[in-house]
Structure formats: structure tokens, C-alpha cells
Structure 1
Amino acid sequence: MAPRWKGRTAEAKALADPISKIVSDLQSSLLQSEAHASLSGSSALLPVEPQHAEILTRACFGRPIITADKVNQWFQLSLEEAFYLSHHLGCLKITHHQGTTCSIAELWQYMKSKIANFPHYYKAYSHLRTKNWVVRPGSQYGVDFVAYRHHPSLVHSEYAVIVLSEGGSSSDDGVDGRLMVWSDLYCTIRLCGSVAKTLLVLTVNKNGHGTVSPTTLDGYSVEERSIRRWSAEQNREDQVAAANGTK
């Protein structure tokens, strides 16, 4: 499925301003400002200045919190986003509600306590982000994430992402065995087709590592499988066109 750009100039704008450069600029900006976010339930709240709000929006990290205060702005980061900025990019410090800065180990334990399968979700999230995909929540489509080739203002999301663990399910990892029944898979594929997205299944493999930690997570691998609904009619028409030399 080809990218569905929003407007004639959208692809050119994306090529002129790649996501990799925008994220690099965000990293530099947050480092210079010594940015701090505070944990709040299953998210992290980041106070930002207007220039930081602009680049966070361009890089597609977090969501702005609308308040009457036009000077002091806030962004709400998901736990995956917060840990990626803190651990992978090293440009964000995160504090407890008491105001003390969390170590990576403390942050990891906190996020695991809020989301049982956080290690798998985070591994899948960081896997896509390091490949310069924009990753956003996918709950509105019944999946874990949706992935965009560039900013959502320029292109529609291309993939609906579901995260699985090695073997398909594991109660210890909090993964619920989705897509193990053919009817679930069929319904999911039909749903993805109805919203013009390809189903992308990311299977996180432990590769023999035991206890999950930020260090051992680096040794995990992610297997990608894209699944589409096969159309007999479309396939027949393609074959006829090829035989006639028109395609």
C-alpha cells in the first residue's frame, strides 16, 4: 500500500524536512533547556516554552494540554514516549511527584507497574521510532499503535500495529494471545482494510535473555510481519492486465 499524502505538496515537504532531522533538533533543544517531566499516573507531564512546544509538535511527541495559561504550556507524554526521550535520546529527566529525579532503573520499574507489558510495547515503539516512523496510539482502531511515514498533517497513517511476544502469548509478559484465533485475525485485517491501513505485527523475541531490564532489552529483537487481506477479484484483474501487456 503506497503512502497516502495529504495534498500535492505534502511529499515534497516531508522530503525537505525529514523526521530524523526534526527529532535530532528536538533532542538538542531539550538538552539545552535541561528539560524535566514529572510522572503522573500512566503518563508524564512536561512543562514547555513556546519554541519547545512547536518542535515537540513537529516531532510528534506527546499531546498539548489546553489551559488558559498562554505562557506556561504543558505536554502529556505516553510512558513509551517519556522513556524513549529519557533513555534512548538522553534528553529528558523525569522526576517523582516528590520532585526527585528518577534513575533509569526506578523509571523502568514505575512504568512496568503501570503497564504490565510495557517492556514489549516500549521495544516495539523504539523499534519503529529508530527507523524514523512517527508512532501514535492506536486504540481508536483497536490496535496498539499506528505508524506514519511523516507528520500526520502531511500523510495518513500507513500501518496499524499490534505487538506480540515470542510464541504469541505469555501471561508472565502480560501479552494476551491476540490473533491466535483465525476469526480474530480475520476481523482485524478487515478493520485495517476498511481504514486503508496495513496490519503490521511486531513480535518481540527475548533471544534467550531472562529478566527484562533496560540493559537486556537491547538484546531483544523484533520480527516484522505485514498482513493484508487477499482479494481474489483484484488478483484476477492484475493477472489479466499482465497477460495483455497493459501492466
Structure 2
Amino acid sequence: MSSNRFRGGPNKGGPRRQENNRIYRYPLPLIFSDSPPSRVRSILGLLGLSLNQVLNPNCEGYYDVSTRSVWIVTQRDSEILWRRGFFGKGNLSRSEPSWFVRQMKDRKSKGSMTSEEVREKRRADRKQFKLDRAAAIAKVAAEAETIFETEGRVVVPALFGPEIPSGATWKPSTVEPEADAGLEQEQSGDAKDTETKEEPEEEPLEDMEHLQLTLQEAFFLAWNLDCLSILDPDTDEPLSLSEIWMTFQQVYLAPPIPNSPPPELQFDNPFLVHYAAYHHYRSLGWVVKSGLKFCVDYLLYKRGPVFTHAEFAIVVCPVYEDPQDQEISTTQLQNSSPFTWSWLGTINRANSQVMKTLILAYVTIPARSRVSRSVLNSPACFAHYSVREVIVRRFIPARMRD
């Protein structure tokens, strides 16, 4: 028996899902094309080389010190990074940068719904369904009380039936307000008067939103994919990879004291620890997004937030290879010390309620006695970091008896 019978087949979701498959068909900003010119194809074929071409979008972004992020200000680059891998988030939106589309829709009162509007409509319909069901149950209960008072018969109010709406039968109802005749005549008269007047032209709407990348996302795009150039906001000049590397580390260090050497780089720098976890899951094919909403560090999606909800919630737990390094460290790493069972139970329950599996990602920080501090001058230092995972599941006796 085919499994598509239970999953709804390959076309589950209708036209909207098919449109999403078309828009978000590329998992990364880089595109591999297999259509080089015929002469080049023949030469590469004789040499036994790959016939694929790598199409690099070459996006640009500005580094912002105050927010510790990289801003993508052009619409073209924002669409590429979001649609090819779901990198970043709109600073005026919850995920997809859709502020400009929402504003234009409000002006024209037409157009396709954004993902945020679809979610809000679904929540409003769910709330209205609960109100309608509660009202129907209260009506049936009132009728049963009336029968008992008048006829003396005991009628058990039904919780199911044709009079009680269910999730399969309920449909949202659109109630239009009634207008009296006088108001309609007045409006029709005003409409005739305004027909002769010219409508004022609306001012062009400027897109005020930008795509905001975390430092981990920006460095992954710049270092691993080489598809992002990070510009200095003061000079508009692109930063070199070594400058990006040092800048992203120094932003987490203590501010330098005047007339003193800059602070030394640390193995337990928060940027290094969280990037090690981010790179680990991105290299395995997961879409990694911020998990701040669910009190975790990261959320893992199979394809992206447009298709399904996140399946796993990641909490990054730094572990020092040498415990003495933690005692002398000046960096206060979150979750580096053992946390309480009440905290773990709270986080686990909060994520299990939204159908997410909690994973503790232990990032091992190399010992200073084993590794020289000079390796921190390049990304090659990540060879000394390791990531181990522990899955935490909440035991629910009523669901796990089988």
C-alpha cells in the first residue's frame, strides 16, 4: 500500500504548495547549471571534468555594530538570500521580508496574501470556530433546561451532532452590516458629488524594510559559499575575509582600554561557539533559524518555514575540554554551567507542546594547554571544535503506553 494514501500524495497543499516549490526550489544561493556551451562541454568531457557551472549571485550587505548583524538593503539580494535557503529575516516582519507587499496590498485592497496574513487569518478562523461551538453548546444546554422546567423531562445536552459545528463542517461566515435607506441615499449622493472631483495622487511607497542576517549566517555565506560581500558602513568598501573574521570575534570581547593593546582572542568566544553549531547543522542540509521564540538557540527545518514547522529545537551547551579554562575565563557563556532540572523540564515541555524535539548540542571548546592561541587568527580553528548531540524527550505516560 502506498504511503501517499496517508500523506495526501505529491500534490498535497494544492496550487499554493506547488507555487512554493517553484519559488523555493534552490536550497542555497549558489545555482549549479549543467548547460555550458557545446564547445566547452566537449573539451571538459574529454578531460573528465565536471560540466556544471556555478552561478554566484554576489550579494552585498552592510555590517551593523549596534545590532551585531549584517543588513541586506537591496530588494534583489534580499529575495535571493531568503528564497534560496531562508537566510535572515525581515526587520519589520516576523520571518519573510513582506512589509512592502503588505503595505501595497493595504493600498490596493487586492493581491495575494502573504504568509503572515495567512497565519493570522487561520488563527482568527480557529478562534471564531471555538466561539461558535461554545455558543451552540450553550444553546443546546439552554433548550434542555427549558424542557426540564416545562415538561419535567431530563435531556442530556449533546456535544456532537448536526447542531454542534465541528472542524469538518464549520465554515467561516461573513456578516455584512445592515445599512438603512437614508444612509444609502446619503452615500449615493456623496458618491455622485465625488465623481466630478479628481482623486489625489498617492505618494510612492518606499520600501523601509531590510533583510537582517545574524553574524553566523553572514559568515557562512561569506566564507563557505563566497556569495556575500560585507561592506564597511563608513567607507562602503568590502571587508576582506580576515577582517570579517576578526571583526565578528572582537564584537563579543570587552571594549579596549585607551593606550593599551587590544584584548586577546578567546577560544570560548560566543561567536565561535554558536557558529560551530550553526555550521554543523547547515552542512548537514538543515535550514537553521533563530529559536528565540521558543527559548532555544536554533530551530531546524527540513526545507524551510514556508513548507513545514521546525522539527527540532537546539540548545547550544558549551563544554570546556579543560575545566581550568572555565575558571580563569572572563567570558560568561550561556549554558556553560550545569543547569537545573526545573529549567530543562520547562524548556522541554514548552517545545514538546509545539511538537518539537529538544536537542542539547554540546560544543567542545579546545583547551588552551593543547592548542595555540594563534589558530584563532583564521577559520581553521574550527577543526579543534566538536559538536555532540543529546536528544531529550518528555515522558508522557498516557501517550507512551504502547
TM over 0.5: yes
Shift in Å, 1:63: 2.1
Aligned mates of 1:195, 1:145 — CA distance in 2: 15
Q: Following superposition of structure 1 onto structure 2, how do residues 1-247 of structure 1 map, counting pairs within 5 Å?
A: 8-9=12-13, 21-23=26-28, 25=30, 32-41=56-65, 42-50=68-76, 52-58=77-83, 59-64=85-90, 66=99, 68-69=205-206, 74-97=210-233, 98-115=235-252, 116-167=269-320, 170=326, 171-172=329-330, 174-176=332-334, 177=336, 180-207=339-366, 208-211=370-373, 212=376, 213-236=378-401, 238=402
Contact map agreement 2:318 2:362 (CA 8 A) in 1: yes
Shift in Å, 1:35: 2.5
- Matched letter for residue 118 of structure 1: F
Secondary structure of the corresponding residue to residue 150 of structure 1: coil
Shift in Å, 1:188: 1.2
Alpha-carbon displacement from aligned partner over 1:22-61 (angstroms, at most 9, x marks no partner): 2053699x964432211012111123343x4333222101
Aligned mates of 2:57, 2:238 — CA distance in 1: 16
Aligned mates of 2:64, 2:251 — CA distance in 1: 11
Shift >6 Å, 4+ stretches = none
Shift in Å, 1:123: 0.8
Name stretches of at least 5 consecutive residues in structure 1 with no aligned partner: 239-247
Secondary structure of the corresponding residue to residue 30 of structure 2: helix
Question: If you compute each CA radius of gyration, which structure gives the higher value, 1 or 2?
Answer: 2
Equivalent residue, structure 2, for 1:241: none
Contact map agreement 1:159 1:197 (CA 8 A) in 2: yes
Shift in Å, 1:232: 2.6
- The total of aligned residue pairs comes to 229
Percent identity of equivalent pairs: 27
Alpha-carbon displacement from aligned partner over 1:124-165 (angstroms, at most 9, x marks no partner): 111111111111111111111111111211100111111111
Q: Please state which structure has a larger fraction of its residues in strand.
A: 1
Shift in Å, 1:95: 1.9
Does the C-alpha gap of structure 1 residues 234 and 205 become closer, same or farther in structure 2, counting only changes over 3 Å?
same
Aligned mates of 1:27, 1:210 — CA distance in 2: 39
Does the C-alpha gap of structure 1 residues 35 and 214 become closer, same or farther in structure 2, counting only changes over 3 Å?
same
Contact map agreement 1:179 1:185 (CA 8 A) in 2: no
Contact map agreement 1:204 1:220 (CA 8 A) in 2: yes
- TM-score of the two chains, using structure 1 as the length reference: 0.77
Please, what is the CA RMSD of the aligned residues?
Answer: 3.6
Secondary structure of the corresponding residue to residue 359 of structure 2: strand
Question: Which range is displaced more, 131-140 or 40-49?
Answer: 40-49
Name stretches of at least 5 consecutive residues in structure 2 with no aligned partner: 1-6, 34-53, 92-98, 101-204, 253-268
Secondary structure of the corresponding residue to residue 22 of structure 1: coil
Does the C-alpha gap of structure 1 residues 60 and 233 become closer, same or farther in structure 2, counting only changes over 3 Å?
same
Shift in Å, 1:216: 0.8
- TM-score of the two chains, using structure 2 as the length reference: 0.49
Larger RCO, structures 1/2 (Cα 8 Å, 6+ apart): 1
